[in-house]
């Protein structure tokens, strides 16, 4: 039996349409089973297409101009910083085609950048599996070095901002890695929530979440290895997809196959997003590297506004000021559209 609540309720807004007809428009309010936060699905906007998504956008202006990119070789050797000796005697970590080095503008005590390879611009949905697998393994190796050096830096994250509309400052594809002694808000919340859930039930929160979603089936998408993929019940962004690795709480000690399977699912999601003519997205995986952590690994992927001229931002006054994400697609419809990319 699941102790998680999947609550949806519909409300109606009455109005007189421009043609003079009395109509009622439906808004579905969903409560997030893990955070308790509400989100809204504006059903009446479902048929409306977002401006700038009728075709896949043109590449950004810098896509063909790598002359000044600090991440392209050979400039990456001279224009990016090096890790201090306690973390790596070589100054950079490499794995396959991936190179990892510190973030020149750090966001935390251990803040690094991991390049996939020397390709300066990669359109969403066209990346190759070995580039993602190697880059994730490079991140894993770095986080292992961090924890050996500083056992208190247990709050870890791997993130991606693909294109400037998702927060990316350089279009050359890369992941960001962060580790700190001080938790971010989501680390703090996940630690408390997964710990309390384990105390109450003796079970792991995300494992129960996956079991619920597999039994329900309406948002479940598929598997890649042991990773289970589904759309978020109460999305905090457009076309939000989760991959959960049940029973695993550490980013550090996993065999390489886990990262290949993760990359498989991430690339499936990217191809799905491309099919929707979206070119920007964010990805994130968090971990709390303590033996007592009950926070299992979960990767979250969210489509962002297209990086194209005059496309509106996806966070409006409603999201920023009221705190409820409003999306225009039912997660069950998103799952139906995404499933073919996992077959
Ligand atoms: Zn480049």
Ligand 1 centroid, distance to 72 Cα (angstroms): 4
Q: Rounded to whole angstroms, how far apart are CA atoms 88 and 145?
A: 8
Backbone angles phi, psi at 89, to 5 degrees: -65, -25
Helix (H) or strand (E) holding 70: none
Centre of ligand 1 to C-alpha 75, Å, is 9
Candidates 173, 163, 122, 160; CA nearest to 262 is: 160
What CA–CA distance (Å, rounded) separates 12 from 339?
A: 31
The Cα 204–Cα 212 span in angstroms is 12
Say if CB 322 and CB 39 are below 8 A apart: no
Query: Ligand 1 center to residue 83 CA distance, Å?
Result: 20
Give the separation between CA 116 and CA 133, rounded to whole angstroms.
9
Cα 271 to ligand 1 centroid, rounded to whole Å: 22
CA of 134 relative to ligand 1 center, distance in Å:
18
Helical pair 205-216 and 185-201, crossing angle rounded to 10 deg: 80
Find the 64 Cα to ligand 1 centroid distance in Å: 9
- CA–CA gap between residue 181 and residue 220 (Å, rounded): 35
How confident is the model at residue 35, as a pLDDT?
Answer: 97
Spell out the residues 6+ positions from residue 106 whose beta carbon is closer than 8 angstroms to its own: none
In whole angstroms, give the CA distance from residue 149 to residue 112: 15
Residues 6+ apart with CB under 8 A from 320: none
Q: Is 55 helix (H, G, I), strand (E, B) or coil?
A: coil
Contacts (Cβ under 8 Å, ≥6 apart) of 116: 97, 98, 122, 127, 131, 132, 134, 135, 173, 174, 175
Helices 256-275 and 331-338, packing angle to 10 deg: 110
Tokens of 181: 């002694």
- What residues sit around ligand 1, an ion, with C-beta below 5 angstroms? 66, 69, 71-72, 120, 172
Low-confidence ranges of the chain (pLDDT < 70): 1-2
Phi, psi of 146 (to 5 degrees): -60, -45
Q: What is the per-residue pLDDT for 1?
A: 53
121 Cα–ligand 1 center, Å: 7
- CA nearest 232: which of 41, 70, 94, 46? 41
Whole-number pLDDT of residue 2: 66
pTM of the predicted model over 0.85: yes
DSSP per position, 241-301: EEEEETT---SSS--HHHHHHHHHHHHHHHHHHHHTT---EEEEEEEE-STT----EEEEE
Q: Are 124 and 57 in contact (CB under 8 A)?
A: no
CA of 71 to the centre of ligand 1 (A): 5
Residue 59 CA, ligand 1 centroid: distance in Å: 14
């Amino acid at each position: 039996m699941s102790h998680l609540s999947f609550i949806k309720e519909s409300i109606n807004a009455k109005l007189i349409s421009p043609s003079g007809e009395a109509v009622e428009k439906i808004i579905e309010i969903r409560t997030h089973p893990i955070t308790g936060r509400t989100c809204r699905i504006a059903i009446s906007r479902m048929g409306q297409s977002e401006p700038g998504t009728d075709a896949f956008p043109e590449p950004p202006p810098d896509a063909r101009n790598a002359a000044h990119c600090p991440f392209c070789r050979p400039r990456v050797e001279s224009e990016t910083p090096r890790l201090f000796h306690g973390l790596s005697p070589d100054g950079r970590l490499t794995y396959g085609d991936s190179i990892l080095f510190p973030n020149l503008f750090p966001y935390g005590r251990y803040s690094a950048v991991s390049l996939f390879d020397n390709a300066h611009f990669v359109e969403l949905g066209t990346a190759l599996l070995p580039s993602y697998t190697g880059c994730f393994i490079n991140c894993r190796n770095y986080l292992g070095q961090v924890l050996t050096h500083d056992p208190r830096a247990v709050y870890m994250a791997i993130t991606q901002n693909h294109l400037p509309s998702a927060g990316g400052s350089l279009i050359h594809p890369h992941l960001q890695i962060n580790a700190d002694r001080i938790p971010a808000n989501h680390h703090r919340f996940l630690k408390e929530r997964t710990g309390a859930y384990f105390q109450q039930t003796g079970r792991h929160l995300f494992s129960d979440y996956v079991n619920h979603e597999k039994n329900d089936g309406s948002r479940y998408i598929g598997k890649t290895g042991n990773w289970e993929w589904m759309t978020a019940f109460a999305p905090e962004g457009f076309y939000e997809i989760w991959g959960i690795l049940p029973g695993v709480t550490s980013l550090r000690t996993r065999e390489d196959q886990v990262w290949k399977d993760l990359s498989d699912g991430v690339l499936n999601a990217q191809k799905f997003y491309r099919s929707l003519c979206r070119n920007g997205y964010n990805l994130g995986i968090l971990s709390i590297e303590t033996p007592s952590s009950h926070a299992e690994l979960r990767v979250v992927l969210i489509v962002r506004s297209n990086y194209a001229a005059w496309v509106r931002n996806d966070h409006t006054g409603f999201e920023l000021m009221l705190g409820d994400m409003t999306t225009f697609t039912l997660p069950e419809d998103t799952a139906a559209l995404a499933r073919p990319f996992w077959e």
